[in-house]
Chain A
Amino acid sequence: MTSPPAQPVVSVDHVVKVYKSTCAVDRISFALPPGSVTALLGGNGAGKTTTIAMIMGLVTPTEGAVTVLGASMPQRRYQVLHRMNFESPYVDMPKRLTVRQNLAVFAALYGVADVDERISELTHDLNLGEFLDRPNGRLSSGEKTRVSLAKALLNRPELLLLDEPTASLDPDTADWVRARLERYRHERGATLLLASHNMPEVERLCDRVIMMKRGRIEDDDTPGRLLARYDRQTLEDVFLDVARGRAEDREAAQ
């Protein structure tokens, strides 16, 4: 006898989001199984950020349902927010607080049991030691990203949402961040959803890619199957095919 399929960590069901007269997300559906790493890909205005914001409960869908860890969003968000977290280079941590102060505040907000011990663990894992007592505003981009990642991992989230986690980082630091994310996923069995424009990052981290264009899901598959289907060597070429409508042109020509 086989066990029933695990309940999805995130379920997006026929979701529509309309801002005034603009349809940002147009009837999309997908589900993220536990432990999966999924990328949302798409050009500017494709609807990735709005989709992630609806999953976080920051934006209310116009139609459809978003369920996270069994709770419908945004109505029942407070039942699950302590089990998820997010990281984005576009959301800052307070600049005049030290790294330690920032982490202590967020640890308390997330209900972390032993704050000092958890900060110590993260300091060790993410090499924060040399700037732990420095104000956040005096950190380099790479250091800020590490702090932001530490904040995102404080509560050992089951669901981690990442918005371009390695944007504006040098290749070495970006690689370092990806390695930490991979390790966290394996250790915790966490589910990751990331929006990224960095195709090598997506190929390395993700076992599934959802390609969006003008608010719709254009394709949804594993990186390997997408490469095969579009007959391309890299996800970047697949991305360009979808973004520029070359796949449709090719189908029409055939």
Chain B
Amino acid sequence: MTTEPTASPPFSMRRVNAMVLRYWYLLRSSLFRILELMYWPAVQMLMWGFLQLYLAENAGFFARAGGTFIGAVLLWDILFRGQLGFSISFLEEMWARNLGNLMMSPLRPIEFVAALMIMSIIRLAVGMVPVTLLAIAFFGFNLYGLGFALAAFFLNLILTSWAVGILVSGLILRYGMGAESMAWTIMFIFLPLTCVYYPVTVLPDWLQPVAWSLAPTYVFEGMRHLIIDHVFRADLMLQALAVNAVYFAAAVMAFMALLNGARRTGTLMQIGE
């Protein structure tokens, strides 16, 4: 028997696929979990859609700005559900008390994160595609009609959602299930600050730099420019991408630091329900 260490691949798609398969098995094992993915986005979209219809009938501006609320709520759901999809998959390991098995396996943190990112897209697709079709049926709002702009919006929003999801996962690893509530609530601070339903100029002057320091603000501004003025602001998308790159890198570094902290303090041994 040799006792010399051998090299193991620093990144293995096989291990990533194994984790995605694990979450896919879990998701498809319950119809209620699948329905739950669609339920809230559908409720929100219908509520904002009918509100927009009402306002359009009574205010000229909103008649011209048809679709901004529905567009905003759909894009907000990409941001919110993207993070939730990432975090819930991670929390499944905590609830199942399976993290010890994973941490003792050759699965590397970066592969774990990659699998969670893929799952967030799968969960998002399962939840959002039917809702976008409902938006067409009820309000004639075709999100896919945004074309390339939608791809740019989606890329920036999903990057932000992953960065937040990675940070929250690191906090849970380090501080245990006491930090679980962060997974459900942290994104709501983005709701007023990233100006989902109103332009940045509505904010007081001192708060506007804070808004511009958050990548989704550029996306929601860009969406309003596109729907109201019919102009695609590529400059806003590039700025969002730059901010996202910084946040994503910072989140990965924070995750690794929190994981190492968990190894020092022994919290990895205590994590569970």
Q: Which A positions have Cβ atoms within 8 angstroms of B?
A: 6-9, 17, 19, 24, 34-35, 49-50, 53, 56-60, 69-71, 74, 76, 78-86, 88, 90-98, 101, 104-106, 108-111, 135, 151, 158, 189
Contacts and interface: CB of A to CB of B under 8 A. Distances in A.
A105 B21 contact: yes
Given A81-B105, A96-B29, A109-B18, A70 B3 contact: yes
On chain B, which size bracket covers the interface?
Answer: 35 or more
A94 B98 contact: yes
Interface stretch (B46-54, B148-156, B257-265): B257-265
A3 to B, nearest CB: 13
B100 A106 contact: no
Contact of A91 (B3, B10, B97, B263): B97
Given A91-B100, A96-B25, 5 more contacts: A17-B266, A81-B105, A84-B104, A92-B96, A105-B18
B142 interface: no
B181 interface: no
A94 B26 contact: yes
Contacts of A34: 1, 3
A108 B106 contact: no
Interface in B92-135: 92, 96-98, 100-108
A74 B30 CA distance: 38
- Which of B10, B17, B268 counts the most chain A CB atoms within 10 A? B268
A188 B81 CA distance: 48
B205 interface: no
Contact of B18 (A81, A85, A93, A108): A108
Contacts of B101: 91, 93, 106, 151
A107 to B, nearest CB: 8
Given A94-B26, A96-B29, A97-B25, A58 B263 contact: yes
B178 interface: no
Given A59-B263, A71-B5, A79-B5, A97 B26 contact: yes
Interface centre among A49, A92, A105, A111 (most CB of B within 10 A): A105
Contacts of A53: 266, 268-269
A49 to B, nearest CB: 7
A205 to B, nearest CB: 20
A80 B5 contact: yes
A90 B162 CA distance: 31
Contact of B104 (A6, A58, A96, A135): A58
Contacts of B263: 57-60, 74
A91 B98 contact: yes
A84 B8 CA distance: 13
Contact of B15 (A49, A70, A104, A109): A109
Contacts of A17: 266
Given A79-B6, A94-B26, A189 B106 contact: no
Contacts of B104: 56-58, 81, 84-86
B96 to A, nearest CB: 4
9 contacts: A50-B269, A56-B104, A59-B269, A60-B260, A79-B8, A82-B106, A94-B26, A109-B106, A111-B8
- Which 6 A-B residue pairs are closest in the complex by CB-CB distance? A108-B18, A91-B100, A79-B5, A71-B5, A92-B97, A7-B3
Nearest to B265: A19
Contacts of A111: 8, 12, 14-15, 106
B22 interface: yes
A165 to B, nearest CB: 15
B229 interface: no
Contacts of A94: 22, 26, 92, 96, 98
Nearest to A148: B101
Contacts of B265: 19
B228 to A, nearest CB: 46
A60 B269 contact: no
Contacts of B269: 49-50, 53, 58-59
B36 interface: no
